Structure 1
């Protein structure tokens, strides 16, 4: 020890360092969106910007004095109590203006520490902010440490005034330790920091706090405002189980003490908020969203347009992209003084609400109507992992027959075989050529309630045939409604088959629309919200409560948590709340999240990994001879074939990483932090499913590798696959409607006559109406965009200093190189014209699982995390 620290003493008592920080951003998304809710979008935005600008001026001048102080903590030398020695407090010095590595809006400062030979090697530091305003601490670098060289501290954390904290803010060097290998002087500090992050489970959380805790979804409704805004609590019961969300501690509502009152700003641990650059980008698109959503509602723009609240022709829909919607001059005069709106509108109002053309109609306006494209989007669209192999005929239901009667499908062989190229149903099942898109069981129990509103829907089953050319052909669609005499009588079902001429072709087009409406709802509420956003949040909470920042698994998973709690909080405030965007514009309406809770009963973590998911759905079989251990039964399955490449790369990287830090299975069982993390994740975070036998026991390296691979897959590639195609496919509402408003017309009815005379008008009166379409397009355009500061798979925000261990860093570089090679491979696949499902009739190559992307609406790119 003496020889190790001798160099420091010989060089003198001073250790020099560089601290990098960012001052509070003038465009803080959380404050500004809260102000919008509180005071209206226009006045709120101006008021918030004025307040923030004033505080920013204070912060800019504060660094002239002794405003920020640091104390180093030794990793090698202890005090009398056995804790690492703490050095003397020292303050920042002058700002460095020419540091080439500084990022956007970052400032660097010199700092010198008194540090003599008795103090050892620094392993952590305390920091205090004596200013009134917070700042974002990026990093600290200490140079010329003998036998150590440079010590880096990756911070990436908001620092508030020291009086706001009950315990001092501490940061650790970028070394990585299992709990048992932690240097003795740092053990106390490691444990105390985790205690701070766990909190005590009481009180309402404050903006500056960093406490991670759990709660049920009891903040979606507003029963105190009106009875129709009450919503059931999701989570905490077997009836409506749900993953846990972050606890805020807000007061209960007056009318329902079990429900939490809502507020304009939702607490989340401070470091989970959007970064500076994303705040600016996201704000612009939110403002655009508001301009296209709120203005039509407040000023009745649609009504002012020739007093016509409906689309009458498909060309009317396409005009949203070709010409846009003109805004009246009185609205323009109200908007024009606001600087943030100037770039969103033309001063004359032309094309003020013009949307970008969705990719699905960029080449051909009508190819979306073909049966081939309808089927192709089940394996290469925005919801490509629902289709299953049909293993029994007719398809059966898992619904309780005593409650819902016999829900066995009414589809017959006679419906199917005329379009099966002389193949029988038995032969097709035996040869893996029949598939089904089944949206019957999740929807049927709620149909009577849904159809009592202004929406009208069916439970649907769609059977498809795998043709010799590798494409899927729809054979029949079954539409089912509850029996007039009661649910226990079973459904009333009708079966529709393909037609290409006359009114029968229009009927078939409507039948496909009912299927897609169900698929759109299931996609948004289950595939997207539940199975990515909601299920990952408990992992984030458990990780921060039990895995120290120096734990190798914390470092592995950290990039895959970025911004997720923030976007989830925003979603609970405006998207999935009572009468929010989703309830207002999607068929499931006020039952949307409740229905997703029913689906969550059957969620299985171990089946979320791609290979197991493919096998479960019967679209692949185990095959040790195949490169990925499975063989696809639909060989040209873009989502699956591309996804398997990404899955294998992730698993290879995780395997290298885990085996570097754990040299035996015993080390897994002996890791106290890992065991506490997994126990709480299962028993609390996903506690409603804790009795399931499929949970990993977390006793082996293989279990840890598989669990981390599944989690990273969900947060990166799965979310990318179901998110960034939303506008490219669904931005054309004809292709992916979100509502159905009329039942299938019966022969002899006025609706049937209308369908025969003008199928476009009848179709448009059946699907999503104009106002909801404008809202849908606005929101999914925002959700389908990449921010300018996005971090993609294989990238880390900390650059090359996220760990001091060279082998994991080299493995990560190989991971990044492998992803680049995969992208080239996927590009080659899209150039292979024999793979018809790669581009389809719409000539839209499948690029959603290309790892890289640029900023914007690109239809490609896999971010590390569920960041939007």
Structure 2
């Protein structure tokens, strides 16, 4: 393959190669192959390639000499076998330390290729790394190509020693071709690269691999450690359906051949930027909490919060820690933001936005209702369309689970309206977690004290939502097969015992909501469901394919963060299990919810219609009339959705003039078939999957993927600390039922409502872990790339696509301005609320850190 092209009347083509050495942030040196090592495969001779003696060498010059080589591949001239001609092997020439376009931590090198007119226009290149350490190849630019000008290669890939690969590493220009339009000279290379990315489905993946394949979630538990660590395999069965993850091929556990041994998570190498991205430091912080901070805090945090002021002390004075404990936590770089450095030995957190203006407004019913439409989990509330509420649970297994809320109970808070009138006027709404939690309560309540909840809310004349009844249900005392035992709690005047009970009831609702949010709205409906599409895209859509170029930025770092989640967040006895109510059943519950997941309903308009929050109305903005006009998530979200879909429509139309073009695309068809039948294989027979036979099928599907990975994830992620950083507002655990009259707990509640509340919700130790994690998850990295932006201006050579993308960015900027204007409108009470926190989660751009706004392109944290 690395032969020499015979060139006559040759000239030189100058290239600029931009790369980053391994561990560049740590200034670790590159070491090359020791002298005398065999650098080539048996039977091959590469003249003159010898290494320099291993050891520490200067990172700026480590790639010079004969350490990194390239060969151009023609896009217009073929060899005797019909493949593009391959040019002469050429090595980096010189270091360019002062190139003005260099990004941070990047090095540039010049390279000169021999060239003549018989070679044609370069369309790809091979690269070989002869050193022992990998480097990150950023880009390559070729200048003064005859009949072309400059040629850009956007690479963004790790390059290991060439012996790590069965096929030499290849990169293509930033040109765009459908499979049928690929230049004949590049067709073979295009297909071969996709085969390389698919692998053969066998063996254990290595750190340098770039192979994308599917597997079930069989690595969350560790049965070899005992029954406490046994978890069901998620995916591959009707009992526990689940989206697929990237296959790693690790060995099975000793006790269960269906479970994979835990250990270092495999991530295809180009999905893992190492320490080249600042967001990696955020992810490192989560690992630090799981592996170091949790055990240390558990050993010293034995007391409980004594009052609400004590909780607020987390942000004002912090928690004093023993010197030896602090000395072990302080060196962790990702946690420096929450550690005092003034010698006070305190663990201190930034004030959450929800209490920056008012310390008590979170307790109001108005704020409770507002957070259902403008909080961190605004996509669950639905219109109440039938009364009384019914359950979808199988009566044979769960008995009668119907709601016990009566008309009379509701009408005490409906003014002059009857329930029938309120239903007809679409003024009753429900937050219903009953069916999600009831099947698990018997197991949950062996170590907690929780209810399955239903909450009815009334839409007031001023557009705000008022909770008017909360139903708290437990499995029947004789067993859940006999149904539920429920109590209904109604609002009460402040200062009464009943008002304390009402506050506790709201806390139990929020515990349900917090857990559903983290496990379903956040993890399942964004992180988990997107991963199969990333796998399928890398396996079937070439980097030359227009849909790969469309979707690529929306996949950045997602497999990486999902791998970390399986390692430290959702694994057996991990952070989620230790701090959230469902404990060992956490991810299993999300499997149950996935049974009812519908891809097409992830489009925001379809989601709103399904929940009864909107009806089609051509005369209304976006073609929808909202049931709650002041619904910040929906109002802002619909503008973002329309902008995304318009951009996708315009872009896709550049390449697919007819439905037939979609049908005959030999990469699109297997891409979609595999994403559905393997990636989401447990739901493959559902009738709602788009058939991918029309341009609109492609537009709608891509729009849903982009929306899910960007705006939907932003809406449910970056408000976690601003709202949940104050544990009183969003507890994640419940440790006590509502006290009954005649019990010591009831007497204590009467005497000290605050203590009763604190003993009901998340413990102090769990709170510290919760806050440490969600602070990290709510932060933006310094190098975040936001919706409407690209990390390279050379992402495509198609000027039409660039123009359409620029229009998309302009539209998003306009929407950003509209959101700021709406947040200043005092008549829109749900946008501001009693806590005086404007809804900004769907504002597109953000600065680094905890900002309560910003829509990254992808699920990168």
TM-score (norm 1): 0.93
Q: Distance in 1 between matches of 2:290 and 2:675?
A: 40
CA gap 1:292/1:535 in 2 versus in 1, 3 angstroms: closer
- Following superposition, the deviation at residue 791 of structure 1 comes to 0.5
Q: Distance in 2 between matches of 1:683 and 1:506?
A: 51
Of 837, 854, 857, 1:861 maps to 854
- Following superposition, the deviation at residue 329 of structure 1 comes to 2.5
Aligned to 1:482: 475
Q: Retained in 2: the 8 A contact 1:665–1:700?
A: yes
Of 427, 437, 448, 2:421 maps to 427
RMSD over aligned Cα atoms: 1.9
Q: Retained in 1: the 8 A contact 2:293–2:329?
A: no
Q: Distance in 2 between matches of 1:793 and 1:351?
A: 40
Aligned to 2:19: 21
- Following superposition, the deviation at residue 351 of structure 1 comes to 5.8
Aligned to 1:471: 464
Cα deviation digits, residues 460-498 of structure 1 (max 9, x gap): 000011111000111100000011112121100000000
Secondary structure (helix, strand or coil) at the match of 2:699 reads: helix
- Following superposition, the deviation at residue 168 of structure 1 comes to 0.6
- Following superposition, the deviation at residue 298 of structure 1 comes to 2.5
Aligned to 2:166: 166
Aligned to 2:121: 121
Secondary structure (helix, strand or coil) at the match of 1:672 reads: coil
Q: Retained in 2: the 8 A contact 1:458–1:514?
A: yes
Aligned to 2:141: 141
Aligned to 2:405: 411
Aligned to 1:436: 430
Aligned to 1:637: 631
Q: Distance in 2 between matches of 1:865 and 1:21?
A: 23
Q: Distance in 2 between matches of 1:231 and 1:794?
A: 40
CA gap 1:324/1:290 in 2 versus in 1, 3 angstroms: farther
Aligned to 1:456: 449
Q: Distance in 1 between matches of 2:422 and 2:326?
A: 61
CA gap 1:87/1:242 in 2 versus in 1, 3 angstroms: same
Q: Distance in 2 between matches of 1:266 and 1:715?
A: 22
- Following superposition, the deviation at residue 274 of structure 1 comes to 3.1
Cα deviation digits, residues 63-113 of structure 1 (max 9, x gap): 232100000000000001100000000000111122111101111111011
Aligned to 1:190: 190
- Following superposition, the deviation at residue 309 of structure 1 comes to 1.5
Secondary structure (helix, strand or coil) at the match of 1:628 reads: helix
Secondary structure (helix, strand or coil) at the match of 1:492 reads: strand
Q: Distance in 2 between matches of 1:86 and 1:349?
A: 63
Q: Retained in 2: the 8 A contact 1:288–1:344?
A: no
Q: Retained in 2: the 8 A contact 1:325–1:350?
A: no
Aligned to 2:834: 841
Aligned to 1:266: 265
Of 825, 835, 845, 1:832 maps to 825
- Following superposition, the deviation at residue 816 of structure 1 comes to 0.5
Superposed counterparts of 1:75-94, under 5 Å: 75-94=75-94
CA gap 1:704/1:421 in 2 versus in 1, 3 angstroms: same
Aligned to 2:809: 816
Q: Retained in 2: the 8 A contact 1:289–1:779?
A: no
Q: Retained in 2: the 8 A contact 1:26–1:56?
A: no
Aligned to 1:371: 365
Q: Retained in 2: the 8 A contact 1:332–1:347?
A: no
Aligned to 1:46: none
Aligned to 2:296: 298
Cα deviation digits, residues 433-464 of structure 1 (max 9, x gap): 000000000110111111112x1111100001
Q: Distance in 1 between matches of 2:199 and 2:507?
A: 50
Q: Retained in 2: the 8 A contact 1:326–1:349?
A: no
Q: Distance in 2 between matches of 1:661 and 1:211?
A: 28
Secondary structure (helix, strand or coil) at the match of 2:347 reads: coil
Of 699, 706, 717, 2:711 maps to 717
CA gap 1:55/1:744 in 2 versus in 1, 3 angstroms: farther
Q: Distance in 1 between matches of 2:187 and 2:16?
A: 26
Q: Which runs of 5+ in 1 are unaligned?
A: 1-7, 30-53
Q: Distance in 2 between matches of 1:155 and 1:292?
A: 34
Aligned to 2:492: 499
Secondary structure (helix, strand or coil) at the match of 1:69 reads: strand
- Following superposition, the deviation at residue 296 of structure 1 comes to 6.1
Cα deviation digits, residues 603-661 of structure 1 (max 9, x gap): 00000010000000001001112221111110000000000010000001000000001
Aligned to 1:757: 751
Q: Distance in 1 between matches of 2:584 and 2:330?
A: 36
CA gap 1:488/1:56 in 2 versus in 1, 3 angstroms: farther
Q: Retained in 2: the 8 A contact 1:456–1:743?
A: yes
Secondary structure (helix, strand or coil) at the match of 2:412 reads: helix
- Following superposition, the deviation at residue 288 of structure 1 comes to 8.2
TM-score (norm 2): 0.94
Secondary structure (helix, strand or coil) at the match of 1:20 reads: strand
Aligned to 2:797: 804
- Following superposition, the deviation at residue 856 of structure 1 comes to 0.3
- Following superposition, the deviation at residue 260 of structure 1 comes to 0.3
Aligned to 1:684: 678
CA gap 1:730/1:245 in 2 versus in 1, 3 angstroms: same
Cα deviation digits, residues 505-546 of structure 1 (max 9, x gap): 000000000000000000000000000000000000000000
Aligned to 2:375: 381
Q: Distance in 1 between matches of 2:56 and 2:433?
A: 52
- Following superposition, the deviation at residue 302 of structure 1 comes to 4.3
CA gap 1:18/1:26 in 2 versus in 1, 3 angstroms: closer
Aligned to 2:689: 695
- Following superposition, the deviation at residue 9 of structure 1 comes to 7.9
Secondary structure (helix, strand or coil) at the match of 2:765 reads: helix
Q: Distance in 1 between matches of 2:774 and 2:382?
A: 27
Q: Retained in 2: the 8 A contact 1:214–1:245?
A: yes
- Following superposition, the deviation at residue 723 of structure 1 comes to 0.2
Alignment of 1:850 with 2:849, yes or no, is no
- Following superposition, the deviation at residue 327 of structure 1 comes to 2.3
Of 606, 617, 623, 1:612 maps to 606
CA gap 1:24/1:810 in 2 versus in 1, 3 angstroms: same
Q: Which runs of 5+ in 2 are unaligned?
A: 1-6, 28-53
- Matched length: 828
Aligned to 2:39: none
Q: Retained in 2: the 8 A contact 1:277–1:788?
A: no
Aligned to 1:38: none
Alignment of 1:229 with 2:222, yes or no, is no
Aligned to 1:214: 214
Q: Retained in 2: the 8 A contact 1:217–1:233?
A: yes
CA gap 1:495/1:335 in 2 versus in 1, 3 angstroms: closer
Secondary structure (helix, strand or coil) at the match of 1:321 reads: helix
- Following superposition, the deviation at residue 331 of structure 1 comes to 3.3
Q: Distance in 2 between matches of 1:709 and 1:334?
A: 46
Secondary structure (helix, strand or coil) at the match of 1:676 reads: helix
- Following superposition, the deviation at residue 300 of structure 1 comes to 5.2
Q: Distance in 2 between matches of 1:534 and 1:210?
A: 20
Of 779, 786, 794, 2:780 maps to 786
CA gap 1:289/1:132 in 2 versus in 1, 3 angstroms: closer
Q: Distance in 2 between matches of 1:753 and 1:344?
A: 38
- Following superposition, the deviation at residue 62 of structure 1 comes to 2.4
Q: Distance in 1 between matches of 2:211 and 2:457?
A: 50
Alignment of 1:555 with 2:549, yes or no, is yes
CA gap 1:156/1:614 in 2 versus in 1, 3 angstroms: same
Cα deviation digits, residues 5-46 of structure 1 (max 9, x gap): xxx987x422111111111125589xxxxxxxxxxxxxxxxx
Of 532, 540, 561, 1:567 maps to 561
Aligned to 2:651: 657
Q: Retained in 1: the 8 A contact 2:553–2:857?
A: yes
CA gap 1:294/1:315 in 2 versus in 1, 3 angstroms: farther
Q: Distance in 2 between matches of 1:355 and 1:341?
A: 10
- Following superposition, the deviation at residue 408 of structure 1 comes to 1.0
Q: Retained in 2: the 8 A contact 1:216–1:244?
A: yes
CA gap 1:865/1:292 in 2 versus in 1, 3 angstroms: closer
Cα deviation digits, residues 110-143 of structure 1 (max 9, x gap): 1011121211111000000000000000111111
Alignment of 1:743 with 2:742, yes or no, is no
Q: Retained in 1: the 8 A contact 2:580–2:733?
A: yes
